[in-house]
């Protein structure tokens, strides 16, 4: 298992993934104090000052938790930076990460050497989102510590490759930490990801249907009611292919028949001046893993359950091998 030192105080090999408009400081704190890794996108705060305030809230809450419960596991926290020229805040937000020595940085879109060096300068760890071999090779050249394999069926800007195929391909040349993302909703799924050779499971959609986050109640209910067939992979909402719930697309006036017809895809035509944030606020994204989600627990309850299912799955397999 190739996992950096900062993960030694976790209870399960699970990262609660960063999600636009959903993950906040509360969710990150609840995840870390439950013993897994908590993360959020810097852009979920409107300004760099607001972002820094969340970092301070998280650092203070985790330090207090560790002081009160020195024997309990407490995961590290991470920040997602969108490294792209269309994000004018990237440099200012990176400076805040360096100032506060944020333990884990998750980069999306660009894997840039300068960012990796800045994070390594204080001993931080960098993981980078990838959907194919080319992205992983570029990330490796930039010196990242790990890659997040965003496979087909993931929430958000999912990849299209089957997780088994993607994992074998990347493992054949990358020897850093490997995280698997896409439709992981139960502890059994986490055990399966480990059995496949991933070091950590990266879970998004499952954590939307949890108490402590910024998602509206109706979004959580829709996830509980949806099944895998309700997930529509389309570029029509924001110009880049992503997975959205059919029910939410219909509520916002999309014609599902047309969306499924590649010839009539309207790249971003639905967008108003409010742009990307407005689109994601109204049209709710989720991965195929919705099938296994039917409740909205607290994060602590969810992590307890994940651990129980994870241990049960491993116990069953171990018994098979030893019997
Ligand atoms: C609503 C939503 C918003 C997301 N926003 C981001 C984001 O801002 N940055 C990012 O790197 N990934 C984002 N993702 C992707 C997740 O970090 C993660 O890769 C994905 O949710 C894993 O698949 P799963 O949802 O099937 O568990 C988002 C996913 C969802 C569902």
Residue 243 and residue 134 in one domain: no
Whether 297 is in a domain gets the answer: no
What pLDDT shows up at residue 259? 77
> Which residue's CA is the closest to the ligand 1 atom numbered 15?
156
Among 158, 202, 204, the mutation site with the greatest number of ligand 1 atoms within 8 A of its Cβ is 204
Residue 73 and residue 156 in one domain: yes
What pLDDT shows up at residue 273? 36
Statement: residue 268 has pLDDT above 50: no
Task: Transcribe 213-281 into DSSP letters.
Answer: SSS-HHHHHHHHH--GGGEEEESTTTSS-EEEEHHHHHHTT--HHHHT-GGG--TTTT--TTHHHHHHH
Residue 42 and residue 133 in one domain: yes
What is the C-alpha separation between 7 and 39, in angstroms, rounded?
A: 13
Whether 265 is in a domain gets the answer: yes
pLDDT digits (tens, 9 = 90+) for 157-188: 999 999 999 999 999 999 999 999 999 999 99
Residue 239 and residue 135 in one domain: no
What pLDDT shows up at residue 84? 87
Statement: residue 212 has pLDDT above 50: yes
Among 15, 17, 231, the mutation site with the greatest number of ligand 1 atoms within 8 A of its Cβ is 17
Question: In which band, very low, low, confident or very high, does the pLDDT at 217 lie, cut at 50, 70 and 90?
Answer: very high
Statement: residue 270 has pLDDT above 90: no
The conformation of residue 181, written as its DSSP 8-state character, comes to E
Q: Quote the ligand 1 centre to 232 CA distance (angstroms).
A: 15
Question: In which band, very low, low, confident or very high, does the pLDDT at 76 lie, cut at 50, 70 and 90?
Answer: very high
Residue 101 and residue 186 in one domain: yes
Whether 125 is in a domain gets the answer: yes
Whether 30 is in a domain gets the answer: yes
> In the chain, how many domains are there?
2
Beta carbons of 290 and 231 less than 8 angstroms apart: yes
Statement: residue 200 has pLDDT above 70: yes
Average pLDDT over residues 299-319: 97
What is the C-alpha separation between 158 and 24, in angstroms, rounded?
A: 21
Residue 167 and residue 278 in one domain: no
Residue 148 and residue 233 in one domain: no
Whether 296 is in a domain gets the answer: no
Q: Report the atom number in ligand 1 closest to the C-alpha of 243.
A: 31
Comparing 239-248, 285-294, 302-311, the range with the smallest average pLDDT is 239-248
Pocket of ligand 1 (CB under 6 A): 17-20, 22, 41, 80, 108, 129, 150, 154-156, 181-184, 202-205, 285-287, 289
What pLDDT shows up at residue 59? 98
- The residues that bridge with 244 in the sheet, in sequence order, are 232, 285
CATH of the domain at 191: 3.20.20.70
Give percent above pLDDT 90 in the chain: 85
Whether 23 is in a domain gets the answer: yes
Note the Cα 262 to chain centre separation in Å.
28
Whether 222 is in a domain gets the answer: no
Average pLDDT, the chain: 93
Q: Which domain holds residue 125?
A: 5-215
Statement: residue 111 has pLDDT above 50: yes
What pLDDT shows up at residue 274? 44
Q: Quote the ligand 1 centre to 69 CA distance (angstroms).
A: 31
What is the C-alpha separation between 1 and 169, in angstroms, rounded?
A: 17
Residue 270 and residue 132 in one domain: no
What pLDDT shows up at residue 279? 85
Statement: residue 226 has pLDDT above 90: yes
Residue 140 and residue 243 in one domain: no
Average pLDDT over residues 52-71: 98
Q: Quote the ligand 1 centre to 19 CA distance (angstroms).
A: 5
What pLDDT shows up at residue 261? 62
Q: Quote the ligand 1 centre to 318 CA distance (angstroms).
A: 32
Residue 188 and residue 273 in one domain: no
Provide the terminal-to-terminal Cα distance of the chain, rounded to the nearest Å: 25
Give percent above pLDDT 70 in the chain: 95
> Which residue's CA is the closest to the ligand 1 atom numbered 13?
19
Q: Report the atom number in ligand 1 closest to the C-alpha of 183.
A: 26
Whether 318 is in a domain gets the answer: no
Residue 104 and residue 14 in one domain: yes
Residue 183 and residue 265 in one domain: no
> Which residue's CA is the closest to the ligand 1 atom numbered 31?
155
């Amino acid at each position: 298992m190739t996992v950096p030192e900062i993960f030694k105080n976790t209870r399960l090999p699970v990262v609660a993934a960063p999600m636009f408009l959903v993950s906040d400081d509360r969710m990150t704190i609840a995840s870390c104090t439950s013993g897994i890794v908590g993360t959020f996108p810097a852009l979920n705060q409107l300004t760099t000052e607001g972002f820094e305030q969340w970092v301070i809230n998280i650092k203070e809450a985790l330090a207090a938790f560790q002081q009160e419960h020195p024997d309990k596991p407490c995961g590290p926290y991470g920040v997602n930076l969108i490294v792209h020229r269309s994000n004018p805040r990237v440099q200012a937000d990176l400076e805040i990460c360096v100032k506060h020595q944020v333990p884990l940085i998750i980069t999306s879109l660009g894997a840039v050497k300068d960012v990796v060096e800045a994070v390594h300068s204080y001993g931080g760890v960098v993981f980078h989102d990838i959907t194919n071999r080319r992205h992983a090779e570029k990330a490796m050249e930039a010196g990242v510590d790990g890659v997040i394999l965003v496979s087909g069926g993931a929430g958000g800007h999912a990849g299209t490759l089957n997780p088994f195929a993607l994992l074998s391909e990347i493992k054949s040349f990358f020897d850093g930490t490997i995280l698997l993302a896409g439709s992981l909703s139960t502890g059994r799924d986490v055990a399966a990801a480990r059995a496949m050779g991933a070091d950590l499971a990266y879970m998004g959609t499952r954590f939307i249907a949890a108490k402590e986050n910024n998602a509206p109640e109706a979004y959580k209910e829709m996830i509980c009611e949806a099944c895998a067939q309700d997930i529509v992979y389309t570029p029509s909402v924001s110009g880049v292919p992503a997975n959205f719930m059919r029910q939410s697309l219909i509520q916002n006036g999309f014609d599902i028949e047309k969306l499924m017809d590649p010839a009539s895809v309207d790249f971003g035509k639905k967008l108003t001046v409010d742009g990307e944030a407005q689109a994601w606020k109204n049209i709710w994204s989720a991965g195929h893993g919705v099938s296994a989600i039917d409740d909205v627990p607290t994060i602590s309850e969810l992590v307890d359950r994940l651990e129980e299912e994870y241990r049960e799955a491993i116990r069953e397999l171990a018994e098979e091998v030893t019997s």
